[in-house]
Structure 1
């Protein structure tokens, strides 16, 4: 099979994996005239998957052959799809070629499982090793790790990758057992724990890189070996099983807490060819995926607990964002006084983000705030003024939420 045909098959096969982003990596570029690539800079030509996701990495599978038969996966062993397999040097060549053409900022590499988890992981690691050591590639590399691979291979992967990920796939062990019986939820979590340990050790030992010493100056300790400086991430499929949003967010919160996950990505299930009868025939609305991302943000940066975000029915509202849904459900907390409320309460005001709250706290040290000051603080008054009071402003009656939780429940779980 020629390289172009392989690329068409294996790039298309990788489009369902959302757990890739280049945020959070260390600064590393080639401005000193050595090496190829950078984790920073502009000029990347972005592409889009059919469901609207923006992709700036070369997203590939090493192969879509797989010995597992996960029912939700288009590349499962029993799937009737064209199969292909790259050689490691082909992936290296494609990455360098696309980077030189300014089409990508790095590589996201995953794979189906062939021969054994260790064999597959060795091939993935070899691609990253060759890019870093043979070609001095300094762009972004994200590797999908195989949970059942040996700890030694996982440790090697972290030496070359900016980020590692292991997909948890479904929010519950029961769901994983039903739809992916060859996968082991405890084994996935053990691999996540190993990665967290390596990442924590590398960060604890890290020291700033010393400038070149002057003649006669004492040598400074060498910097610690790097290990996945952008951390680890995972992905959960939304809508492939009966898990509601409450269960999904509770699972995400546990992953953040136990493994210091950098990101949990959510991917709305897409019906696949020759699907099993155990899977839904209709995809969940993409708005549900979007609301989960917003809820995830509230847990990570706004101090919300998962049980606060989803209440009745176990599903997030689709007509308003989760923060406003919480405000509508808790009118007793509003209006919030912009001149007196603590930071924790200001962060719960719809329309106020982390940066705008910090600007507001700085501004009110100088004088009392009025409604018209919101525009100067780069805050849109339209949403905020319904939930706050300030000098010269008191809101009218807070809007009441429509009764639609039961309707959403019937739409998503008929």
Structure 2
């Protein structure tokens, strides 16, 4: 099997890992269907710590795997075409693509071959060869294996900009049922070790700029959604715990996709993609808008609404909190107004230092008045308090539009 055939197989196999975000750009196509296409298999996009969007070669070192995770297309019992790169082939591919300006970095993951330590050694070897032998200064994201020795994970953090360990499923019971070789406690223990190394490296850099960095772009993880009966409330609780205890940069959500020869334990159909979108919106609210996980769902309704975004759903459950006077409310309360994002809240706070905010000011900020009017009070707009039942009628058109809102809102934060 030549290197192009391996690339076709292992780039396609890597597409199931969502923990390397895609920007959706299509400006760097070399030709339709070519290896340099940034929208085809093998090329993805991510963001560096300074906010730049970079194109990455996204591949598996191998799709052989000794584990039998029921949701994974590359599980040991799966009848798929297998391939394996050598470390030298990955290095050559990365440098060739980089020199042609197709990519600016590498996202490298792998199935487990022989054992966790052997696999991790091969992944680390690729990173070390790129950094030391090739002088590669581009972006490196390495997928680490929680069962690997702490020394190997430490080496991965030395060479990589970002490292990640996938929790895969939201609850320990889910993992025990569908991926018995994996253990959530062990995964989170590895995350704790990584976070301590990151914190230690940051402290050392403050003392001397010559201190070696350790995964300066932090760590991330991924959860598969819809492969089990786990509800959104459980998923968000798990994400909140990961952010709080391990300071993750991102939790990525990947809607389960049915696979060939699937186990009877798995659902026959994929969950609606809008559910994945709602989880990303809820995740954004937890990270940047001051919401707690428990606020976004209720014990009686543990699933996020598919008909409206989580902030709108929260507002509908709390009519007593509205309308909000944008001239006197705190930043935290302004964040909770549907239709206002973090950036526009900052602008409103600046405007009201000079004069009282009016509807014309909101229009100049390009705020959707149709969406915010029932929730705000301005110098020239004083809506009456209305009950939840009346809001159902008032907000119905906005809800219908919001259902198909583009996913880019998750990136900008304008919820």
TM above 0.5, yes or no, is yes
How many angstroms does 1:385 deviate by?
1.9
Partner of 1:212 in structure 2?
A: none
**Equivalence map 1:117-266=2 (5 Å):** 117-207=116-206, 221-266=208-253
Deviation for aligned residue 1:21: 4.0
CA contact (8 A) 1:22 1:140 kept: no
Residues 84-123 of structure 1 mapped to structure 2, 5 A cutoff: 84-123=83-122
Query: Please, which moves more after superposition, 291-300 or 91-100?
Result: 91-100
Of Structure 1 and Structure 2, which has the larger fraction of its residues in helix?
2
Whether the aligned pair in 2 keeps the contact of 1:48 and 1:54 (CA below 8 Å) is: no
Q: Aligned with 1:236: secondary structure?
A: strand
Q: Summarize the Cα distance change of 1:164–1:54 in structure 2 as closer, same or farther, 3 Å threshold.
A: closer
Alpha-carbon distance between aligned partners in 2 of 1:344 and 1:255, rounded to the nearest angstrom: 23
The TM-score, its normalising length taken from structure 2, stands at 0.86
Equivalent-residue separation in structure 1 for 2:203 and 2:383 (angstroms): 49
Q: Separation in 2 of the partners of 1:344 and 1:13?
A: 42
Q: Which residue of 2 aligns with 1:218?
A: none
**Distance (Å, rounded) in 2 between the aligned partners of 1:379 and 1:110:** 41
Distance 1:9 1:377 in 2: 47
> Within 2, Cα distance between the matches of 1:281 and 1:17?
20
CA contact 1:124–1:143 (8 Å) conserved in 2: yes
Residue 304 of structure 1, aligned match among 277, 288, 291? 291
The aligned length equals 371
Give 4+ residue runs of structure 1 displaced > 3 Å after superposition: 42-45, 53-56, 395-398
Deviations 1:136-193 (A, max 9, x none): 1111110000111000000000011010000000110010000000112111111101
RCO higher in structure (CA 8 A, sep ≥6): 1
Q: Which residue of 2 aligns with 1:341?
A: 329
What runs of 5+ residues in structure 1 fail to find an aligned partner?
24-41, 209-220, 405-414
Contact kept in structure 2, 1:118 and 1:153, CA below 8 Å: yes
Deviation at 1:43, TM superposition (A): 5.5
Q: Is the 8 A contact 1:334 1:387 kept in 2?
A: yes
8 Å contact from structure 2 (residues 21, 45) kept in 1: no
Q: Is the 8 A contact 2:11 2:41 kept in 1?
A: no
Post-superposition offset of 1:386:
2.2
| Match runs of 1:323-342 below 5 Å | 323-342=311-330
CA distance in 2, matches of 1:120, 1:102: 29
1:382 to 370, 385, 395: 370
**Contact preservation (8 Å) 1:66, 1:114:** yes
1:351 paired residue number: 339
Q: Give the deviation of 1:378 after TM superposition.
A: 3.9
Aligned to 1:47: 39
1:289 aligns with 2:273: no
Q: Within 1, Cα distance between the matches of 2:20 and 2:195?
A: 18
How far off is 1:47 after superposition?
1.2
CA distance in 1, matches of 2:350, 2:5: 57
1:369 counterpart SS class? coil
Aligned partners of 1:302 and 1:347 also within 8 Å: yes
Q: Residue in 1 aligned with 2:59?
A: 60
Q: CA deviation at 1:195?
A: 0.3
**TM-align CA RMSD:** 2.1
Cα shift at 1:22 = 9.1
Q: TM-score, normalised by structure 1?
A: 0.86
Q: Contact between 1:207 and 1:223, CA under 8 Å: does it hold in 2?
A: no
Q: Is the 8 A contact 1:47 1:54 kept in 2?
A: no
Which string of whole-angstrom CA distances, capped at 9 and with x for unpartnered residues, describes residues 98-153 of structure 1?
A: 12222222111000000110000000001111111111111111000011100000
